[in-house]
Structure 1
Amino acid sequence: MARRVRRIKAEINVVPYIDVMLVLLVIFMVAAPMLQPGVVNLPSVDKADRALDVKPIRVEVDAKGTLILADGAEKTEIADADALVVAVKARTVSQARPVVIAADKEVRYDAVIQVMNALKKNGVDRVGLAVQPQK
């Protein structure tokens, strides 16, 4: 009797891979509508405080980093953040007034945050940033 030589088939069985891919496709198709791509809910401008019965105190930071305290028509140059806090506290003794920081766009972000932080640490509750609307 002659023995028959068996040859090994060099084929890859792709059926299990196709089954796995179809299952993954179905999972992603079901899960994709449930994902929200980075939605940020911003507050509406209509709900912001618009009616102020007092004028805010304006702190100006020019391109060189000089602090100027503007209260109405009166402008005073301030040496540092500590002197600014003392001057703002003196103007807000009788009533709580908001403070608006107006900084030149060439000023470093760190300088503006230091002014804001000094005001917040010393009890000034309402501190905001002044911006110019786009044309």
Structure 2
Amino acid sequence: MSQINVVPYIDVMLVLLIIFMVTAPMLMQGVKVDLPEATANPVENQDSEPLIVSIDAQGLLYLNLGNEKQVLELATIRERVAAVLRRNKDKPVLIWGDEAVPYGQVVTVMVELQQAGAPSVGLVTEDPQ
């Protein structure tokens, strides 16, 4: 009786698994901001990649669609987020706000995102260690 030797297939699968585990964190790109530290429960895993609005220390806004290094106006971000949410209502929306940005500016962005159709807007923080 002939049998299939599956050991080479398992080796290939493990190598691919390691490659995906190493490259997956690199796929999350954005603008470098110093996130505030807070202890909070993580959000449950989402199947789709979230929309991320970044606010740097100078208060400039960025969106992780298209050219991520391009500074955008708040009205432009609202239009683009609304267009994406019309196609996918369950897409999570997050804000990466630098800790040097005034709280009022973050709230203004949150309100605009909710008016664009985001049912909830999450704030990203660093875990203090």
TM-score over 0.5 (shorter chain): yes
For 2:120 and 2:104, how far apart are their aligned partners in 1?
Answer: 19
Shift of 1:76: 5.2
1:70-114 deviation line (CA, Å, top 9, x unaligned): 14x851534322111101122223212111000111101111000
The equivalent of 1:63 in structure 2 is 57
The equivalent of 1:88 in structure 2 is 81
87-96 or 111-120: bigger deviation = 87-96
Q: Report the structure number with the largest CA radius of gyration.
A: 1
88-97 or 108-117: bigger deviation = 88-97
For 2:80 and 2:97, how far apart are their aligned partners in 1?
Answer: 18
RMSD: 2.2
The equivalent of 1:5 in structure 2 is none
Q: Does 1:104 align with 2:104?
A: no
> Which residue identity is paired with 1:68?
Y
- What is the total number of aligned residue pairs between the two structures? 89
- Rate the CA distance shift 1:116–1:105 in 2: closer, same or farther, 3 A: same
Shift of 1:52: 0.8
Q: Comparing both structures, which one devotes a greater share of its residues to strand?
A: 1
For 1:123 and 1:78, how far apart are their aligned partners in 2?
Answer: 22
Identical aligned residues as a percent: 27
Q: Is the 8 A contact 1:78 1:84 kept in 2?
A: no
Residues 109-128 of structure 1 mapped to structure 2, 5 A cutoff: 109-128=103-122
For 2:55 and 2:98, how far apart are their aligned partners in 1?
Answer: 6
SS of 1:102's equivalent in the other structure is: strand
Residue segments in structure 2 that go unaligned for 5+ positions in a row: 1-39
Residues 1-135 of structure 1 mapped to structure 2, 5 A cutoff: 45=41, 49-71=43-65, 74-75=67-68, 77-96=70-89, 97-135=91-129
> Which residue identity is paired with 1:132?
E
Q: Is the 8 A contact 1:59 1:100 kept in 2?
A: yes
Higher relative contact order (CA 8 A, sep 6+): 2
